[in-house]
Amino acid sequence: MDALAGRRFVLGPWSVDPALGQIERQDQLRRIEPRTMRLLSTLAAAQGEMVSTDALMDAVWSDVVVTPSSLYEAVAQLRRALGNDDGGQDFIVTVPRRGYRLRAPVMTIETTVPRPRSIAVRPFRTRALPASHAFLPEILTDDLIGELSRQPDLFVMARGTMLRLADSDMPSIELGRQLGVRFVIEGSIEAQGGEWQVTANVVDVEQGRQAWADSIVIALEAWPGVGVAVVGRLARALDFELRDATARPRSTRDGRALDARALATRAWVELFARPESRLSNAQAMQLAEQSRGADPDLPLAAVCLATADWRAAQFGWSTLDRSKLLARALIQAERAVDLGARDPDAHYVLALIAYSRGETVRAEEALRHCIRLSASFAPAYGLLALIRTRRGFASESQALCERAFALSPREPLRAVWHLANAWAGLASGDFEGALEASQRGMSVNPDFATCYLTGAAAAQRCGVHELAQAWVSHLRERTVFCSLKAIRDWLPPATEPAHKQQMDNVVEWLRAAGLPST
């Protein structure tokens, strides 16, 4: 007897979920101990027919030796949990000296419609793991569930439920269907020589396929220091994949257009999962405006509108006045924080706009709050590195950027982190380092104009004059930084002594490289 293979079913007024170990009716939710739930599932699989005492003992306690009293106690627990049916009778009927059967009809629930952004993390499997580190899979699973749970609008199956399923051999697609989630994470930890290899796969239950995979290799002795980074990197990458998957075009059942949240998610993907460009920014703005029209109080729509306005102001991608764009972006960012106080994206974009307005203290506070909400939010570390340099603490930039790269090594926004290291190099006199960081930023996003600015200044100081002049030509012909005055106008205003000195220096170095005054 397959005990319904863990599928959900309805027993009279009760909805039974064996995987979650719970029964529910109207406003009542009751937890059922695993073996007792196995007993209920076995009886339900018989569809009202009698199940013998021996068959129940074999199905529920096959792995241990118990007396019939264990069965009697389990039946009593079930009766207490289920109560009486509408006729005042027990749901469980005793067949004297033979067995038990269910009185109420049983209806299986073959499929469950999952939440679009819902996920279950299976306990990580182990391969060649020494006994001294047997705790790692549970720690990694627990930490990953905790970090994913911090992400707004993401439903994550509880830790206790998943640990109870640690020994289940059910395929992830089937498990996801039973749990009612869109995605299932499965993975392994394997010891290979002197290294750990952590592998994670995301299974798209709705599509019936593997949607994403990643593998991280670290030294055996390094685990205590990088375990958190491993969790953060997986969580950040998963956030990208989940948003991308749930943002793909699809219609509602009655053929209507995408709802507000789906539109806003597509806008987010354009902004944060694609390289910055005028085209992606315009597409994101259009989607975000449609989302706001459908739901004016959706925090994610306000986040995307604020970000798109900020980028248009920052890179000259609009005919509107820059100050007006920044003011409009700030209103949207503050609204996003009001609507979604626990959304790290909202605090991040508020920091971006505050920094562009010269409000470095406010920007830093917003970024640190963002990190408190989500330790895996890699862009916050990169922007914080830039701001700390501007405030006179260039020595902190490298560690912050290393953290950002460790969390999200393939992030489209990583050009900004290279820029942060370039500014730190210019501020501290490490011009070769600034030149290398600028070139790395250009390679990630050839349209990121600010890296050509720092690159030209660094090349001039390194004596690579032809390269400096080539990048000055690029600035003049293809960016808003076409003159020294434009640099003052378009870069964030210097409001602190260290920032003012850095700007004065860079302007002089670019003047020497051939950038005109106006």
Mean pLDDT computed over 254-270: 71
Dig out the tokens for 351 from the structure.
């920091």
Cα–Cα distance for residue pair 42/106, rounded to 1 Å:
12
CA distance 150 to 403: 19
pLDDT of residue 145: 82
Does the structure show a pLDDT above 50 at 261? yes
Cα 114 to Cα 71: distance, rounded to the nearest angstrom: 35
**Do β-strands 92-95 and 99-102 pair in parallel, antiparallel, or remain unpaired?**
antiparallel
Percent of the chain with pLDDT over 90: 42
Contact 143, 228 (CB under 8 A): yes
512 Cβ neighbours under 8 A, 6+ residues apart:
460
Q: In the CATH scheme, what is the code of domain 414-518?
A: 1.25.40.10
Would you tell me how many other CB atoms lie within 10 Å of the CB of residue 497? 10
DSSP for 81-119, please give it.
HH-B-TTS-BSEEEETTTEEEESS-EEE-------TTEE
Mean pLDDT computed over 63-80: 86
Higher pLDDT, residue 89 or 402 = 402
Res. 110: pLDDT tops 80: no
The highest-confidence range among 28-37, 203-212, 297-306, by mean pLDDT, is: 297-306
Mean pLDDT to the nearest integer, 422-440: 97
Residue-level pLDDT at 5? 54
Q: What is the mean pLDDT of the chain?
A: 85
Query: Residue type at 374?
Result: S
- For 56-72, what is the mean pLDDT? 84
Q: Which CATH class is domain 118-246?
A: alpha beta
Q: What is the DSSP annotation of 45-77?
A: HTTTS-EEHHHHHHHHSTTS---HHHHHHHHHH
The pLDDT tens digits for 445-459 are 898 999 999 999 999
Identify which of 281, 247, 240 has the alpha carbon closest to the alpha carbon of residue 264.
247
| Confidence at 335, pLDDT banded by 50, 70, 90 | very high
* Domains in the chain: boundaries: 3-108, 118-246, 258-375, 414-518
HSE at residue 208, side-chain half, CA atoms within 13 A, is 0
CATH architecture entry for 258-375: Alpha Horseshoe (1.25)
Distance CA 201, CA 186 (A): 5
Instruction: Determine if residue 391 is left, alpha or beta; phi over 0 gives left, psi from -120 to 50 gives alpha, anything else beta.
Output: alpha
- Cβ contacts of 97 within 8 Å, gap of 6 or more: none
Residue 128 DSSP symbol = S
Stated length of the chain: 518
Note whether 118-246 and 258-375 share their fold. no
pLDDT digits (tens, 9 = 90+) for 228-260: 667 777 777 777 777 776 665 544 433 334 578
Classify strands 183-192 and 118-121 as parallel, antiparallel or unpaired: parallel
Closest by CA to 277, choosing from 143, 110, 444, 407, is 444
Residues 320-332: what's their mean pLDDT?
A: 93
Are the C-beta atoms of 8 and 24 separated by less than 8 Å? no
**What is residue 133's predicted lDDT score, i.e. its pLDDT?**
73
Of the candidate CATH numbers 1.10.10.10, 1.10.1240.10, 1.20.1600.10, 1.10.3720.10, the domain formed by 3-108 belongs to: 1.10.10.10
Query: Which of residues 450 and 103 earns the better pLDDT score?
Result: 450
Give residue-wise pLDDT tens across range 363-386.
999 999 999 988 888 899 999 999
